[in-house]
Amino acid sequence: MITQPRLSLPEIERRLCDVASVHLGIRRDKLSPSNSFLEDLGCDSIDMVELIIAVEDEFDVFLDNDRRNPVGKAIFTRQPFRISDLAEAVYIQHGSGAPKRRRFWSGKIIDPPRLSHLPFTQLSGRWDGKFGKREPLFERLTRDSVPSYRRRSDGMRCVKVPASLVEIGCDLAGSLSDEGPKHLVQLDAFLIDSEPISTTAYCRFLNSVGDVTGPILTEWFILETEDDRNEHALVVRNGSDWKPVPGTEEWPIILVSWFGANAYSLWANGRDWQNYRDEAGDKFGSFLPSEAQWEYAARGPHFQTYPWGEEPPSPERMQFGQHSRGIKYRVDTLPMAAVNVPLGLSPFGLHHMAGNVWQWCRDWYDADFYRRDESQSRNSVNLKSGRVRSERGGSWIGPAELCRSSYRRGRPPFARGRCLGFRCVSSVEDVK
């Protein structure tokens, strides 16, 4: 169901400059999101505490920066700390509710709010596509046994999956022929998105790449006028800007082709999105996960039927089996779960690795691929051109059987679906 629309990041930045102007006594025309609080505005600790309390009240949010929220902590420890950074902290705490305090000036919290799921960190607005030594593509969030990072291009939390010798496929009775034989694949370490890509992040991509021609947009996600799926399109053009349909900002992007997914994956990783067709099959021609990477990230290095193990699926574990014959959906009644809702959780803490939306993979789908020697090569991926690209994970529409971690299928790369989205991988080289 559609939730309360969220403010975009540029809108928050504008309003935050208004609040800062009043509370810091600085003329509004002298403030911009790029101003740093210490170096440019001369704020001291009292100024910052007073401003943060005012901002919490203005936006009805709780600006949590403790270790339970590693993204918030990473934002608040940036140097220099700018108005745009504080705006980003406000953005990800949407819906948290301002804390209750004994007195406005005391800062002592009586009833700090608790979110039912992780903050939504995927960004709106635009990205200039530049990164380097001063502002690298990734900022580190945790140093746990499974390190996590945040990708600056789109705000995505990414998990580093360690190198391992991984069991791929399934030989159990009842499994389909394309799932076997089960075999071992050596995979190098890689980063993978903790969530599917959202409508918000996809609009950020569209707004960042400039004036893209109509034929390319049609190849990515624009449907023919007579296509009845248009009523379920989750992104719309407002002048020169793309925006999510209000209330769907935290939903996974759907109705996107393999081409549209791959273009995003290249852009988000600081590469040239114009190579989105991946015709040469270059090493960095795509940042969509291979089938082997996806299956490893979904269930870990050893076989298990679902990301959580062998226990049967339930609505508390994943979003599946929501459709009944004859149901007609409006855009606000599509039964999808937000990307940051902890369903379909993998051993690495990834969301929706079973159910909610199918996810494009890089491979060309081949039902016989696991029977060929190259399926057991290091960092296995099928780059031999075919008719269809692979997709994994199941969705909100189908039965639990299709959500098994080893279940394989494919669609033509130009195909779209109301239950088909994607997530990206990233190179560990980019975090060094």
Judge whether residue 307 has pLDDT over 70.
Answer: yes
The answer to whether position 355 is within a domain reads yes
Q: How far, in Å, CA of 28 to CA of 432, rounded?
A: 39
User: How many domains does the structure of the chain reveal?
Assistant: 2
The answer to whether position 417 is within a domain reads yes
Pairing relationship of beta strands 358-364 and 420-421 according to DSSP bridges: parallel
Check whether residue 162 and residue 287 sit in a common domain: yes
Q: How far, in Å, CA of 62 to CA of 58, rounded?
A: 11
The answer to whether position 180 is within a domain reads yes
Per-residue confidence (pLDDT) for residue 375, from 0 to 100: 97
Check whether residue 338 and residue 404 sit in a common domain: yes
Q: What is the mean pLDDT of residues 3-9?
A: 82
Per-residue confidence (pLDDT) for residue 197, from 0 to 100: 98
Per-residue confidence (pLDDT) for residue 304, from 0 to 100: 97
Residue 36 sits in which domain range?
Answer: 9-92
Q: Domain boundary residue among 76, 92, 108?
A: 92
The fraction of the chain above a pLDDT of 90, given in percent, is 72
Check whether residue 193 and residue 290 sit in a common domain: yes
Check whether residue 292 and residue 191 sit in a common domain: yes
The token pair that represents 298 in the structure block = 């979904």
Q: What is the DSSP string of 308-360?
A: TBSSPP-TTT-------TT----GGG--PPPTTS--S--TT--S-SSSSSEEE
Q: Look at phi and psi of residue 23 and say left if phi exceeds 0, alpha if psi is from -120 to 50, else beta.
A: alpha
Q: What is the DSSP string of 371-412?
A: GSGGGGSTT----S--S-EEEES--SSS-GGGGSTT--EEE-
Per-residue confidence (pLDDT) for residue 368, from 0 to 100: 97
The per-residue pLDDT for range 404-429, each reduced to its tens digit, is 999 999 999 999 999 999 999 999 99
Residue whose pair of structure tokens reads 């100024």 in the numeric block = 47
Backbone angles phi, psi at 101, to 5 degrees: -125, 155
- pTM of the full structure: 0.90
Per-residue confidence (pLDDT) for residue 115, from 0 to 100: 42
409/239: higher pLDDT: 409
Q: Domain boundary residue among 57, 92, 127?
A: 92
Q: How far, in Å, CA of 411 to CA of 421, rounded?
A: 12
Q: How far, in Å, CA of 107 to CA of 111, rounded?
A: 12
The answer to whether position 404 is within a domain reads yes
The token pair that represents 375 in the structure block = 């399926």
The per-residue pLDDT for range 157-189, each reduced to its tens digit, is 999 999 999 999 999 998 999 999 999 999 999
Per-residue confidence (pLDDT) for residue 199, from 0 to 100: 98
Check whether residue 159 and residue 18 sit in a common domain: no
Pairing relationship of beta strands 157-161 and 190-193 according to DSSP bridges: antiparallel
CATH of the domain at 382: 3.90.1580.10
The per-residue pLDDT for range 291-304, each reduced to its tens digit, is 999 999 999 999 99
143 pLDDT band, cuts 50/70/90, is confident
Q: What is the mean pLDDT of residues 67-79?
A: 79
- For the beta carbon of residue 129, count every other beta carbon within 10 angstroms: 13
Q: Which residues contact 344 (CB under 8 A, 6 or more apart)?
A: 307, 317, 318, 319, 351, 352, 353, 354, 355, 356, 393, 403
Check whether residue 423 and residue 344 sit in a common domain: yes
43 pLDDT band, cuts 50/70/90, is confident
Judge whether residue 66 has pLDDT over 80.
Answer: no
Cβ atoms of 419 and 395 within 8 Å: the answer is: yes
Q: Do you find a cis peptide bond into 335, omega within 30 degrees of 0? A: no
Check whether residue 72 and residue 152 sit in a common domain: no
CATH of the domain at 15: 1.10.1200.10
Q: What is the mean pLDDT of residues 368-387?
A: 96
Q: What is the DSSP string of 163-227?
A: PEEEEES--STT--GGG-S-EEEEE--EEEESSPPBHHHHHHHHHHS----HHHHHHHTPPPTT-
Backbone angles phi, psi at 237, to 5 degrees: -95, 130
The answer to whether position 38 is within a domain reads yes
Q: Which amino acid is at 164?
A: S
The answer to whether position 110 is within a domain reads no
Nearest to 53 by CA among 78, 90, 80: 90
225/73: higher pLDDT: 225
The answer to whether position 150 is within a domain reads yes
Check whether residue 304 and residue 176 sit in a common domain: yes
Check whether residue 177 and residue 30 sit in a common domain: no
The per-residue pLDDT for range 86-129, each reduced to its tens digit, is 999 899 888 878 776 544 434 444 444 444 467 899 999 999 87
Backbone angles phi, psi at 229, to 5 degrees: -80, -10
Check whether residue 52 and residue 174 sit in a common domain: no
Check whether residue 291 and residue 370 sit in a common domain: yes
The answer to whether position 107 is within a domain reads no
Q: Domain boundary residue among 59, 92, 125?
A: 92
Nearest to 275 by CA among 267, 288, 287, 285: 285
Q: Of how many residues is the chain composed? A: 432
Check whether residue 45 and residue 189 sit in a common domain: no
362/93: higher pLDDT: 362
Cβ atoms of 391 and 359 within 8 Å: the answer is: yes
Report the chain's mean pLDDT, rounded to a whole number.
90
